[in-house]
Amino acid sequence: MVSIIVPIRYRADLTRVCLDSIMQYTTVDFELIIVQEGEDKEITELLRKYNGKFVQNKEPKGFAGAMNSGLKLAKGDYYCFLNNDTVVTPGWLEEMLKIFDDKEIGLVAPTFTEAETRQSVDLNNENEVEYVDDPLSLKGVCFLIKKSVIDKIGEWDERFGLGGGDDNDMCYRVKQAGYKMAIARKSYIYHYGSASFRELRNNNVEEAHKYAVEQFNKFKKKHGIKEPPKIMIAIPTFSGNVNNELVSRLIQWSHDREFAVNIYMPKGMVPLDNARNHCVKIFLQNYLDYLCFINDDIVPPPNALRELILADKDVIAPLCFNMREDMNGVKYPCPVAYKRQKNGEYQIHYGKGIEETDNVMGGMFLIKRKVLVNMERPFAFTYKKDGTLDFSEDIYFSQKAKERGYKLYTNYDLLCKHYKVVDVKDVNDLMLNYGRKSSN
């Protein structure tokens, strides 16, 4: 027999569809265990209509606590932990049970919609079973676990509070205990996608994602998991193209085992502050540690990313060059690093090594995750009363970060090329080549 445990706190409408689908499409011997979190008369009246075991935690215990409340009533040989924002389909449970013919299997999950993982129904193939090595690649929308496995590894960890990270923890403990995990590719459920959890977060999707990342970090801390820093390199570009030297640098960094690089290139987004804020949103939705902005016309030195990470600063930038024009109209490459003066004006500053600065400029800079969490609209252009530009989006971000107590730094030893600039070495080489041709 299978004990199907469904925790419910919000969304009576989705809960009704979920429970109806279980009753209609489950043909194996099962018992339904419904766990209500909190007090909601509409949900209580609904749940009383179903033929199953019922328990109510008037003081919500969170996802893990609700599952454990259900376990206390369970009599099955298998435990199915199922979210209430799902709709099961014919054969869903039967197909998962088949996988347990392999006696080494401890946990099975179905395919479903709203999945960016290997559980995505879009990745379906002819195989009935897909073994999973990475315990972090499964999402706890629906887990089927042997009773003997739970007896060995223990219940859900209620230290994860309201939820999130507890599914990673369960999978990790299953694998640590020596069991295999698998996806039943012919088992399919529909998943609305964290509907109840978004309700808990007042339907603020961004806040829900941020919370999920915090919970995942809690899981890593519990198990002492140390991973290479995960960096999202964001390159806002209007055309979608970057210069060849930058491409080579990105390829080099993507093969460096000291960190994990994700490259994101939003195309055609204007103005630049809008593009940067979009990148921040995508960054915060993922389990990443640093956001690195690089303009599409910048070429950092080979060691730039490694050195910026090793510096371990809230916000840090290498030194970029841009073209300036003197009073006579003569253009020259100028390092873009400034310090703010008492009158509020910014003046070019020449430093050595890593120095604290008042701002970082937009060519390239690295930001720790904590700086961006809960910072509303980090980038914006500001204008004077006459409508002319006052501060660019990177200076605005710098000021906002400093107001929140974060420190900004520039590494003056890391000199970036500006693709639109003929730098000093190139000018020197050009003059030498011209001199040789003239002498010949």
Residue-level pLDDT, tens digit, the chain, 440 residues: 999 999 998 888 999 999 999 999 999 999 999 999 998 889 999 998 998 999 999 999 998 999 999 999 999 999 999 999 999 999 999 999 999 999 999 999 999 886 556 777 776 666 788 999 888 888 889 999 999 999 999 999 999 888 888 999 999 999 999 999 999 999 999 998 755 555 555 556 566 666 777 788 888 888 888 878 999 999 998 887 888 899 999 999 999 888 999 999 988 888 889 999 999 998 987 778 999 999 988 899 999 999 999 999 999 999 987 666 777 777 666 777 777 777 877 777 778 899 998 888 888 999 999 999 889 899 998 888 888 777 789 989 999 999 999 999 999 999 888 776 545 455 555 555 555 444 44
User: What is the per-residue pLDDT for 192?
Assistant: 84
User: What is the per-residue pLDDT for 313?
Assistant: 96
- State yes or no: cis peptide before 271, omega within 30 of 0: yes
- In order, the DSSP letters of 6-65 are EEESS-HHHHHHHHHHHHHH--SSEEEEEEEES--HHHHHHHTTSSSEEEEESS--HHHH
| Residues, the chain | 440
User: What is the per-residue pLDDT for 200?
Assistant: 57
Find out whether 278 and 199 touch, Cβ atoms under 8 Å: no
User: Which tokens is 308 given?
Assistant: 């910026």
Q: Quick one: angle between helices 393-403 and 272-284, nearest 10?
A: 50
Distances (CA, A) of 396 to 254, 343, 393: 30, 17, 5
Q: Per-residue b/e over 125-159, b at no fewer than 16 CB within 10 Å?
A: eeeebbebeebbebbbbbbbbbbebbeebeebbee
Which of these, 279, 276, 233, lies nearest to 253 by C-alpha position? 233
Find out whether 255 and 184 touch, Cβ atoms under 8 Å: no
Between CA 17 and CA 44, with CA 88 as vertex, the angle to 5 degrees is 35
Which of these, 306, 298, 247, lies nearest to 415 by C-alpha position? 298
DSSP conformational letter for 267: B
Regarding pTM above 0.85, the answer is: no
User: Where do the domains of the chain lie, and which CATH numbers do they carry?
Assistant: 2-223 (3.90.550.10), 230-428 (3.90.550.40)
User: What is the per-residue pLDDT for 74?
Assistant: 96
User: What is the per-residue pLDDT for 431?
Assistant: 52
